[in-house]
Chain A
Amino acid sequence: MGIFEAILLTVITAATPLVLAALGELVTERSGVLNLGVEGMMVMGAACAFIATQQTGSPYIGILAGIASGAVFSLLFGFLTLTLVANQVATGLALTILGLGVSGMIGEAYVGQSGIKLPQIVFPILSDIPFIGPLLFRQDLIFYLSIALVIGVQWFLFRSRAGLKLRSVGDSHSSAHALGINVIRTRYLAVMFGGGCAGLAGAQLSLVYTPQWVENMSAGRGWIALALVVFASWRPWRVVIGGYLFGAVSISQLYAQAFGVGIPSQFLSALPYLATIVVLILISHNRRMTLINTPASLGKPFVPDR
């Protein structure tokens, strides 16, 4: 295995949780809801996935628990912001505080336990292709799910009727309502999808990335995911590009250090953030394109008139 391939493998592991969480948030935001609680849902997913795995011995049940906990936790956000029309930004931040607290509390007994790593699923023949094989066909279930979800979300948003409805809810909830679309239900489902994806991303952290539980183990990745949605200008395939770009820059700085370049590590660590800004500047010079893709009702509450 060459060094380039090795780096890419590390990048894939680092980027997958970012892609997953960002993809979920993308769908949520496309429906017009801004949920800043990604970090909280992610860390809940990580805790619940780990606990379930330790209890049952099956990381697959852990995955389910991660998804379920993220989705259930996001319902709390949904109830406040959709049913009670509370402010989305503040509620999302409060969700993060709560998630860090609850996950710390329920996970306390599991700190220091060595987890079970999600096994690889090897595709015969395909995995023997040089270079591509080990990268793409010798991975775990969550990686495959992340790819499937990107394709699925892309198809859903732009090729399916339900996706069209979801986007119309996000672009103008009053027109959507006038057309007979149930705005609140659509948004609830979108919020739960976002929560489920963040939970799955969390499960990746505690089952694949580092099979263990420690408090606050998401370490700010939820925030990066939020930024990636903006970076991607709300388009799924750009989330993949953004996630892998971010992962690649942050991983290569570690490799560069090991290789022995004499640049202060703080500057190297700042690179992924700067790179993200620079690329976003380059792709967002076209004001009209940006506007088309930005959900116009993002963050605005909706109360149907009766």
Chain B
Amino acid sequence: MRIELERRPEVSRLYSILSPFIALALTIFFGGIMFLLLGKDPVSALYSFFIEPLMEVWSLHELAIKAAPLILIAVGLSVCYRSNNWNIGAEGQFIMGAIAGSILPVVFYEWHSPLVLPLMMLLGMLGGALFAGIPAFLKAHLNTNEILSSLMLVYVAQLFLDWLVRGPWRNPGGMNFPETRTFDPITILPEMITSGRAHWGFGFAIIAAVLIWFMMRYTLKGFEITVLGQSERAGRFAGFSSRKMIWFSMLLSGALAGLAGIAEVSGAIQQLRPVISPGYGFTAIIVAFLGRLNPLGIVVAGLVLALTYLGGEAVQVSLQISDKPIKVFQGMLLFFVLSCDTLIHYKIRMMWFDLSDKPVGEVR
């Protein structure tokens, strides 16, 4: 059997809506089989995974909390990736943003003013942007590959945070455990609505997504990003500078990752500790592509991915299984979503009998 693709003359609107649902159906089918093989009731597993987290108010709040950093980071990354700048160090920018924003509540903890919170957010963005500025500078002026430098700086940021919370920023009243003092209430990002603990981080994520969507779609800057991303040469002829674009996209994505970091720390954790992110910066890369690098698509993708974490826990509790099958299920969902997106741009033809002399590499 062979699979052949034929490019559609134009993007299929039908399939750009339908493909996620096909992917979902496939995941439910194969995931169901997996749960059956594990001797668990597939219906209740799938129910717990996809539905249960959406049925209760507290859980919807948790969904927003989990999705906020993913969306915020991924929206920034989409600009980078569209302009061909491969920032994969958002995790580090997230951490440095969190650190920079925490200067006020940790070091100047006695300063109580309504200005503190907005300043923290600004400092967070600044910290993330400056840290992303390192790979930007290295790429724009020293020709150093940003994939390597941004990734390596993630580890540096993690170790720096580790050192800070164990050393100079350690809570003097915390029994020498590695964490900073807890933030003063005035420095805590408030809840968005009173029904639960989802904080303004989610609001920032939605606002950022809409703004970036607008920028990409309706402004010259958006056009510049797209052109330079598709062809540096074409961009140069149009008078765009790819060096400036490196700076712009990296600083923007760094600032958003930094905002995500300080929002997470101020809104959800309320102190710094050695580990403040379970890999949001990396997961956001998947979110960016699941959302097809479209800021509004990223909002949906971020929510779906957050749902898989919440659903995964719900399944663990309701079926009493370990988290490994859940990870497999999550991977399965990602694979199906990614492969079904092919349908948007291509027609797929299955060739059951291979009579042509096509080379074996395509035979599957």
Report which A residues bind B (CB closer than 8 A): 76, 79-80, 83-87, 89-91, 93-95, 97-102, 104-105, 108, 182, 184-189, 223, 226-227, 230-231, 264, 266-267, 269-270, 273-274, 276-277, 280-281, 284-287, 290, 303, 305-306
B282 x A93 contact (CB < 8 A): yes
| A185 with B331, Cβ < 8 A, contacts A80-B339, A83-B3, A84-B339 known | no
Contact with A along B135-150 (1 / 0, CB 8 A): 0001000111101110
Contact with A along B320-364 (1 / 0, CB 8 A): 001011111111101100110110011010000000000111101
Interface of B (DSSP majority class): helix
Cβ 8 A contact of B335, one of A76, A185, A290, A305? A76
Expressed in whole angstroms, the Cα–Cα distance for A285 and B160 within the complex equals 28
| A86 with B6, Cβ < 8 A, contacts A105-B325, A185-B359, A273-B155 known | no
A sample of 13 more A-B contacts (CB under 8 A), given A98-B332, A269-B159, A303-B7, is: A89-B289, A90-B289, A93-B286, A94-B334, A97-B327, A97-B331, A97-B334, A101-B331, A185-B362, A273-B155, A277-B153, A284-B142, A303-B5
Contact with A along B146-175 (1 / 0, CB 8 A): 011101110110011011001100000000
Task: Jot down 30 A-B pairs with beta carbons below 8 A, ordered by A.
Answer: A80-B335, A84-B5, A85-B342, A86-B342, A87-B338, A94-B335, A98-B327, A98-B332, A101-B326, A101-B327, A102-B331, A105-B325, A108-B322, A185-B360, A187-B361, A188-B361, A227-B152, A230-B145, A264-B163, A264-B167, A266-B159, A273-B153, A273-B156, A277-B138, A277-B144, A281-B142, A284-B142, A284-B143, A303-B5, A305-B7
Expressed in whole angstroms, the Cα–Cα distance for A195 and B172 within the complex equals 49
In the complex formed, the residue of A with least CB distance to B142 is: A281
Expressed in whole angstroms, the Cα–Cα distance for A150 and B153 within the complex equals 28
Q: Does B260 interact with chain A (Cβ within 8 Å)? A: no
Distance from A74 Cβ to chain B, minimum over Cβ atoms (Å): 13
| A-side contacts of B322, CB under 8 Å | 108
- Tally of contacts, chain A with chain B, CB under 8 A: 151
Report which B residues bind A (CB closer than 8 A): 3-7, 81, 138, 142-145, 147-149, 151-153, 155-156, 159-160, 162-163, 166-167, 282, 285-286, 288-290, 322, 324-332, 334-335, 338-339, 341-342, 345-346, 348, 359-362, 364
B155 x A280 contact (CB < 8 A): no
Distance from A25 Cβ to chain B, minimum over Cβ atoms (Å): 12
Expressed in whole angstroms, the Cα–Cα distance for A58 and B167 within the complex equals 48
| B-side contacts of A270, CB under 8 Å | 155-156, 159-160
A97 x B361 contact (CB < 8 A): no
| B-side contacts of A276, CB under 8 Å | 148, 152
Distance from B277 Cβ to chain A, minimum over Cβ atoms (Å): 14
| B-side contacts of A85, CB under 8 Å | 5, 342, 345-346
B361 x A184 contact (CB < 8 A): yes
Expressed in whole angstroms, the Cα–Cα distance for A284 and B146 within the complex equals 12
A84 x B342 contact (CB < 8 A): yes
A280 x B327 contact (CB < 8 A): no
Cβ 8 A contact of A86, one of B163, B325, B341? B341
In the complex formed, the residue of A with least CB distance to B145 is: A230
A-B CB proximity, top 10 nearest: A185-B361, A101-B327, A98-B331, A90-B289, A94-B334, A266-B163, A105-B324, A101-B328, A273-B152, A230-B148
Cβ 8 A contact of A281, one of B144, B156, B289, B339? B144
B143 x A287 contact (CB < 8 A): yes
Distance from B75 Cβ to chain A, minimum over Cβ atoms (Å): 16
| B-side contacts of A90, CB under 8 Å | 285-286, 288-290, 334, 338
| A182 with B142, Cβ < 8 A, contacts A90-B290, A98-B328, A264-B163 known | no
| A231 with B155, Cβ < 8 A, contacts A86-B339, A91-B335, A303-B346 known | no
B285 x A274 contact (CB < 8 A): no
Expressed in whole angstroms, the Cα–Cα distance for A182 and B328 within the complex equals 33
B327 x A227 contact (CB < 8 A): no
Expressed in whole angstroms, the Cα–Cα distance for A98 and B142 within the complex equals 37
B324 x A80 contact (CB < 8 A): no
| A-side contacts of B338, CB under 8 Å | 80, 86-87, 90-91, 94
In the complex formed, the residue of B with least CB distance to A276 is: B152
| A-side contacts of B151, CB under 8 Å | 223, 226-227
